[in-house]
């Protein structure tokens, strides 16, 4: 199962959090008996580690994050691994693309001086200066204030955070991504689907990753791919399964879940309907023909 991390924290009262329309602060303390899980987020987030160590893995790279370090993580699906040496404590800053886009447009002249070509990555390491470190730690004061914190004050803190990051030349790749949002009102459906088709997500979750309502997602999807999302996902996952059966050592159960199918009987039936043989027999036939 893939955890919707934004929804999880927003709906979990046991965590210290401050929630606005386009942002959310969360203090997250993870016990040492939690090691690995897969998560997805439809809202970009920044994670700053207070203590402990965790790996974040995107489709093509793993980033190890320890105390005093920070990452900016775009919308997407990730695997994480926690290490057992000490409890893991982090502050999570969820910031919508709309919030970032407004910040960039409101400070266009300043950002243009720092702009660079867009390095299309899913995760961006952040250079943590002393001032940025102090800014992160000051958030704890908000959590300890009790009662309602004025939203205007929280929004000022988010803007201060973005100013600190964008003015540091060592964060030029992240600034390039921020700057690219000026020209992108909607996330590419093609990019979302090609990166995440093999994950077991609902259509509503694919729609959130693309920044659309479900109805708009379905309409835009049909326009771009000329077929329904359900049919496209089924065919894409089966083609991926065929490739894995031909070229990997994964067993059929592993292939099933790697491709985003919920159970093996459903996978076996769909695979046979498309390719004429159930997965195990298809693999034997392919091996014999080589």
Digit-by-digit pLDDT tens for the chain (290 residues) are 678 888 888 888 887 777 777 888 887 776 544 555 778 888 999 999 988 888 888 867 889 899 999 999 998 888 888 776 677 788 889 998 888 988 988 888 777 655 556 677 889 999 999 999 998 888 767 766 655 667 777 788 888 999 999 999 999 999 988 988 877 667 788 888 988 898 888 899 899 888 888 999 999 999 999 999 999 999 999 999 999 998 888 899 999 988 989 889 999 999 999 999 999 999 998 888 76
pLDDT at 147: 56
pLDDT at 182: 78
Q: Which two tokens stand for residue 87?
A: 């409890």
State which fold the 3-183 domain adopts. Jelly Rolls (2.60.120)
Helix (H, G, I), strand (E, B) or coil at 156: helix
State which fold the 189-289 domain adopts. Arc Repressor Mutant, subunit A (1.10.10)
Q: Are 24 and 9 in contact (CB under 8 A)?
A: yes
Sequence-distant (6+) residues with CB within 8 A of 15 are 9, 26, 27, 28
Residue spans per domain, the chain: 3-183, 189-289
Task: Give the predicted TM-score (pTM) of the model.
Answer: 0.75
Beta pairing class for 53-57 and 76-82: antiparallel
Please report where in the chains the tokens 């992240």 appear, as a residue: 174
pLDDT at 289: 78
pLDDT at 126: 96
pLDDT at 223: 93
What is the C-alpha to C-alpha distance for residues 159 and 142, in angstroms, rounded to an integer?
Answer: 16
Query: Same fold for the domain at 3-183 and the one at 189-289?
Result: no
Q: Which two tokens stand for residue 236?
A: 């894409």
List the beta bridge partners of residue 41: 76
pLDDT at 230: 94
pLDDT at 113: 59
Q: Which two tokens stand for residue 73?
A: 């993580």
Q: Are 20 and 43 in contact (CB under 8 A)?
A: no
CB atoms within 10 A of CB 30: 15
């Amino acid at each position: 199962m893939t955890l919707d991390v934004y929804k999880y924290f927003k709906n979990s009262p046991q965590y210290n959090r401050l929630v606005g329309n386009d942002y959310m602060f969360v203090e997250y303390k993870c016990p040492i008996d939690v090691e690995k899980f897969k998560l997805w987020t439809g809202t970009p987030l920044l994670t700053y580690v207070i203590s402990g160590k965790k790996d974040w893995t995107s489709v093509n790279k793993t980033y190890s994050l320890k105390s005093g370090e920070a990452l900016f993580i775009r919308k997407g699906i990730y695997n994480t691994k926690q290490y057992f040496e000490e409890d893991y404590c982090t502050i999570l800053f969820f910031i919508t693309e709309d919030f970032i886009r407004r910040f960039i447009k409101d400070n266009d002249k300043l950002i243009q001086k720092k702009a660079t070509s867009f390095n299309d990555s899913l995760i961006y390491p952040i250079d943590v200066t002393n001032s940025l470190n102090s800014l992160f730690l000051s958030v704890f004061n908000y959590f300890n204030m009790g009662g309602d914190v004025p939203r205007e004050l929280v929004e000022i803190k988010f803007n201060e955070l973005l100013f600190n990051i964008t003015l540091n030349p060592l964060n030029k790749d992240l600034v390039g991504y921020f700057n690219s949002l000026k020209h992108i009102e909607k996330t590419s459906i093609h990019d979302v689907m090609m990166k995440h088709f093999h994950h077991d997500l609902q259509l509503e979750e694919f729609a959130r990753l693309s920044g659309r309502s479900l109805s708009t997602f379905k309409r835009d999807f049909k326009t771009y791919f000329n077929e329904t999302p359900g049919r496209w996902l089924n065919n894409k996952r089966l083609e991926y399964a065929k490739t894995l059966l031909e070229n990997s050592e994964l067993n059929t159960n592993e292939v099933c879940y790697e491709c985003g199918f919920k159970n093996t009987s459903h996978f076996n039936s769909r695979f046979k309907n498309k390719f004429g043989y159930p997965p195990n027999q298809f693999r034997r036939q392919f091996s014999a023909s080589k």
